[in-house]
Amino acid sequence: MAKMKQSTATKTSVTNDAGSASFLCPNCGKTEIVRTKNERENVVKYVCEACGFTGPN
């Protein structure tokens, strides 16, 4: 069974969320950052659990 992805910032599910994005932390490259379409459009900040990097800048 596939693991459901959750937003890094708000912990909401991104399943079936058109426009969501996931990428590795731009600072350390260790943690997957997951963002909903709404978070991207409203520039909601996220924090990397591995290195503490805060984005978007």
Residue range 41-53, pLDDT digits in tens = 999 999 999 999 9
Give yes or no for a contact between 33 and 53, defined as CB atoms under 8 angstroms apart.
no
Q: Please report the sign of the dihedral spanned by the C-alpha atoms of residue 48, residue 29, residue 50, residue 7.
A: positive
Count of residues making up the chain: 57
User: In the chain, where are the structural domains located?
Assistant: 1-57
**Separation CA 13–CA 11 (nearest Å):** 7
- Specify which residues 35 forms β-bridges with: 21
Model-wide pTM > 0.85 = no
User: Residue 26 and residue 30: Cα distance in Å, rounded?
Assistant: 9
Q: What is the pLDDT of residues 1-22, one digit of tens each?
A: 567 889 999 988 888 788 899 9
